[in-house]
Amino acid sequence: MKKYYFNKLNKIEIDKLCIRSAINYDQILEKVRPIVDEVKKEGDLALRKYTLLLDQVKLDNFLVSEKEMALGAKQLSIETKRALKVAYKNIIKFHKKQKPNSFSVETMPGIVCSRESRAIEKVGLYIPSGSAPLPSTVLMLGIPALLAGCKDVVLCTPPQLDGGVAPSILYAAGLCGITQIYKVGGAQAVAAMAYGTESVPKVYKIFGPGNQYVTAAKMLVSIDPAGAAIDMPAGPSEILVVADNDSRADFVAADLLSQAEHSPDSAVGLICISENKLDEIINEVYKQADVLSRKEVALQSVQNGFAVVAENIEIALGFANDYAPEHLLLNIDEAEKYVDKIINAGSVFLGQYACESIGDYASGTNHTLPTYGYARMYSGISVENFMKMITFQKISSTGVLNIATTVMELAQTEGLMAHRRAMEIRVDYLNSL
């Protein structure tokens, strides 16, 4: 980790620290666009081609059967089932509070405006299963979809070499009431959900993480009117830890490595108000990395990371807001009293016991969060993302007469005479009574 002193950095250098590693999407899009186009045109034929080519699996049927679902549940250990049930319980408890309320207001006599929430009818969930299956992501996306009341929930995940789906993914999907599970991965899965094939239904919005190719495919279908909306832009996983003299170096090091092990391009940052403690934490990071199975991946990420010495907590939090991390850990004394100072972050972990892993799996908050600095303008996934709001207005005859002059004047100002006439004709009618 490269070491910096905040009081020696100018604004340009601080801004540079906040920039994530560049991803050359032009090259990636060149590879992904033909896949997306082929799935759009050829449907299942293209899915079979790319499943064989990229996953080394020959499939005749993509849909997971009821028999496969039942078998998957039997193959899972009691301990894993118990853990998934606890996570499910906590996640659903927190997310139940997120459903938006309807409201109605009379803006002026005779004019009543209201807003109602409606579930997005058809949604698609992409669940990666590369180096390891991610049943936690099934819960993080499936539970909000369930609570929102989405009519059709389609889940796509890459097939294993035996042509099946990881039992943990099937079990988690079962907990969420998801039955439409397809053995399709990568950019081809995104295209299948966006446009529909003979087997995979078309959806209106696609959720879920993935590699650069999945992200590129989501970008492509989101700008195609015939495609589908997406949850948010995505980048590599990231963490920023704020530490002080009282922070345990082993705790902080473990948290940094928990994100560093995701991929070599994970963003790992530390800002500490004590240089001695910062040095202790960095030494502990390399010590703990030695025993990791993904040591090389983690160390590459750490080497690209940064460690900043700040004069006080206020400066550290100011930098955190500029950086806008996916995960922000306040491993400091009395962390709760600084909550109001946090403006930009995907999810915040307060105090020394709040390790990032808890939020990833089972605290109840969602782990699908904005990365790449998008926490400045995006929120993490919630029930609201699976819903849309519809506004209504009811106008009485009294309302027409009260608002007519305003509407006609504004229509006249904008030169839209049909707009003016639509209002005027009602006024004339009421005045004739």
What pLDDT, on the 0 to 100 scale, is given for residue 284?
A: 97
Q: Are residues 247 and 154 in the same domain?
A: no
Q: Are residues 136 and 204 in the same domain?
A: yes
What pLDDT, on the 0 to 100 scale, is given for residue 376?
A: 96
CA distance 428 to 433: 9
CB 39, CB 200: distance < 8 Å: no
In a domain, 275, yes or no: yes
Q: Are residues 409 and 315 in the same domain?
A: no
Q: Are residues 264 and 375 in the same domain?
A: yes
What pLDDT, on the 0 to 100 scale, is given for residue 302?
A: 94
Q: Are residues 402 and 281 in the same domain?
A: no
Other C-beta atoms lying within 10 Å of the C-beta of residue 121: 13
What pLDDT, on the 0 to 100 scale, is given for residue 73?
A: 86
Render the burial of 5-15: b for 16+ CB within 10 Å, e for the rest: ebeeeeeeebe
**Which residues form the catalytic set?**
326-327
Strand order in the sheet with 103-108: 103-108, 111-119, 387-395
What pLDDT, on the 0 to 100 scale, is given for residue 233?
A: 83
Count of the separate structural domains present in the chain: 3
Domain finish residue from 211, 230, 249: 230
Sign of CA dihedral 284, 361, 234, 200: positive
Q: Are residues 59 and 207 in the same domain?
A: yes
In a domain, 7, yes or no: no
Q: Are residues 66 and 134 in the same domain?
A: yes
Strand 267-272 relative to strand 103-108, pairing: unpaired
What pLDDT, on the 0 to 100 scale, is given for residue 163?
A: 93
Least Cα distance to 172 among 125, 231, 210, 206 occurs for 125
Rg of the chain over all Cα atoms, to the nearest angstrom: 26
Q: What confidence tens digit (pLDDT) does each residue in 207-245 have? A: 999 989 999 999 999 999 999 999 998 888 999 999 999
Domain finish residue from 174, 208, 230: 230
What pLDDT, on the 0 to 100 scale, is given for residue 176?
A: 98
Domain finish residue from 169, 195, 230: 230
Token pair of 88, please?
Answer: 């499910």
Q: How far is CA 58 from CA 51, 161, 200, 397, in A?
A: 7, 9, 17, 66
In a domain, 2, yes or no: no
- What range does the domain containing 363 cover? 235-379
Question: For 352, what's the count of Cα atoms within 13 Å in the CB-facing half-sphere?
Answer: 12
User: pLDDT under 50 in the chain at which residues?
Assistant: none
CB 72, CB 165: distance < 8 Å: yes
Q: Are residues 123 and 243 in the same domain?
A: no
In a domain, 110, yes or no: no
Query: What angle (nearest 5°) sits at the alpha carbon of residue 109, between those of residues 107 and 115?
Result: 35
In a domain, 139, yes or no: yes
Q: Are residues 247 and 318 in the same domain?
A: yes
What pLDDT, on the 0 to 100 scale, is given for residue 23?
A: 76
Q: Are residues 225 and 239 in the same domain?
A: no
Q: Are residues 42 and 135 in the same domain?
A: yes
- Whichever domain contains 30, its CATH number is 3.40.50.1980
Stated pTM of the model = 0.95
Other C-beta atoms lying within 10 Å of the C-beta of residue 343: 13
In terms of phi and psi (left: phi > 0; alpha: psi -120 to 50; beta: otherwise), the region of 415 is left
